[in-house]
């Protein structure tokens, strides 16, 4: 009979047989539930022959990098390499305002950095990096079969940098039969901290698409601080698990305000919180007016450069979840 505990045992055995006694595996971790559960399974199966790589792109949420180190390295004992590539990403994004261009730059830079780090990992004598862990879930499998052809993900990885192709890495996808809620159950069963298991999804391009228009270190900082306050208040109010995803976006417009007897002219934050089951359609979350009032006041008072806060009351469709 199928139980989650059986699934873990079977999957670990399958991976051990597949990888054999000496080959090594690399995989990117993001701090999200999928990549963390994937990494934990690999760790259980082959120990330090699994190498997790975390790329700090300078577009992560507040304290995220420190948190990932703490959870994966200290907490779960995963063999982790952390790379700070913030400068590289932010340099490449200078002057770029088009959302799709930003996505492409962030994606390509990620692969470039990941490949470089992967090529510097030197496994023990006689062994070789042969596999790449991917946190593909069942819905991704379905989508790639029906819309893109089964190996689109592999192809995009291969085409960009070339190195992963040269290394001729084979894919390991331990989560490919699971839905998101099953990955969460699995994470809980494997001792991954509750906070991480229930974390809202965060897009690969990170704050790069939540700072609208040009991405600069100063703009990222404003978006990051505002987002932190919003999420902190959501957690304090006990609402985090009722909401599917919530974040702050920084709009590229200035607005007039007044602070004391001073006229200000500063930027605008848009708050977004949604409820959804599949992210294809979504409703905006109905907060108490009191809650919103408090968040707005905290953001304007605590975040330099913000003079106004708005709440996004658009459903998907016609709006998307993200602003870019």
Binding site members for ATP: 30-36
205 binds ligand XMP (CB under 6 A): yes
Number of residues counted as binding ligand XMP (CB under 6 A) = 11
Q: How far apart are CA 279 and CA 147, in angstroms?
A: 17
User: CB 250 → ligand XMP: shortest distance, Å?
Assistant: 16
316 binds ligand XMP (CB under 6 A): yes
What number of CA atoms fall less than 13 Å from residue 290's CA on the CB side? Answer: 1
Q: Among the candidate windows 117-125, 172-180, 297-305, 315-323, which touches ligand XMP by CB under 6 A?
A: 315-323
- Which residues are CB-neighbours of 124 under 8 A, at least 6 positions away? 22
What number of CA atoms fall less than 13 Å from residue 132's CA on the CB side? Answer: 21
320 binds ligand XMP (CB under 6 A): yes
User: CB 303 → ligand XMP: shortest distance, Å?
Assistant: 22
Footprint of ligand XMP on 226-245 (CB under 6 A): 245
Residue pair 282/315 in contact (Cβ under 8 Å)? The answer is yes
Kindly tell me which of 37 and 46 has the beta carbon lying closer to ligand XMP. 37
204 binds ligand XMP (CB under 6 A): yes
- What is the SS3 assignment for 168? coil
247 backbone φψ class: left, alpha, beta (φ>0; ψ -120 to 50): beta
CA dist list (Å): 102 to 113, 116, 271: 16, 21, 21
In the annotated binding site, the residues are 30-36
User: CB 316 → ligand XMP: shortest distance, Å?
Assistant: 5
144 binds ligand XMP (CB under 6 A): no
- Which regions of 150-237 does DSSP assign to beta strands (E)? 170-172
Near ligand XMP by CB under 6 A: residue from 20, 77, 150, 201:
201
Near ligand XMP by CB under 6 A: residue from 92, 103, 180, 298:
103
* CA neighbor of 230 nearest in space, from 317, 294, 179, 288: 294
Would you tell me which residues interact with ligand XMP (CB under 6 A)?
Answer: 103, 201, 203-205, 245, 279, 316, 320-322
């Amino acid at each position: 009979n199928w139980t989650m505990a059986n699934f873990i045992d079977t999957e670990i055995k399958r991976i051990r047989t597949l990888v054999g006694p000496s080959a090594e595996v690399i995989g990117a971790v993001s701090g999200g539930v999928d990549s963390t559960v994937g990494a934990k399974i690999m760790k259980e199966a082959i120990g330090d022959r699994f190498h997790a790589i975390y790329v700090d792109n300078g577009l992560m949420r507040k304290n995220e990098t420190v948190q990932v180190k703490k959870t994966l390295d200290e907490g779960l004992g995963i063999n982790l390499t952390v790379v700070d590539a913030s400068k590289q990403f932010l340099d490449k994004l200078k002057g770029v305002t088009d959302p799709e261009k930003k996505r492409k730059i962030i994606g390509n830079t990620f692969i470039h950095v990941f490949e470089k780090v992967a090529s510097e990992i030197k496994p023990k004598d006689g062994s070789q990096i042969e596999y790449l862990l991917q946190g593909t879930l069942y819905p991704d499998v379905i989508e790639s079969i029906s819309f893109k052809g089964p190996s689109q993900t592999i192809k995009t990885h291969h085409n960009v940098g070339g190195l992963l192709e040269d290394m001729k890495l084979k894919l390991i996808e331990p989560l490919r039969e699971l839905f998101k809620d099953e990955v969460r159950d699995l994470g809980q069963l494997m001792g991954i901290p509750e906070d991480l298991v229930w974390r809202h999804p965060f897009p690969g391009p990170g704050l790069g698409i939540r700072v609208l228009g040009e991405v600069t270190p100063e703009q990222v900082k404003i978006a990051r601080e505002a987002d932190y306050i919003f999420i902190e208040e959501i957690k304090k109010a006990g609402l985090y698990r009722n909401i599917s995803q919530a974040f702050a976006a920084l709009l590229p417009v200035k607005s007039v305000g007044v602070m004391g007897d001073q006229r200000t002219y500063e930027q605008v934050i848009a708050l977004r919180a949604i409820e959804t089951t599949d992210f294809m359609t979504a409703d905006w979350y109905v907060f108490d007016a009191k809650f919103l009032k408090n968040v707005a006041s905290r953001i304007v008072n605590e975040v330099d450069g913000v003079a106004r806060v708005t709440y996004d009351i658009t459903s998907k469709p016609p709006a998307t979840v993200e602003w870019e």
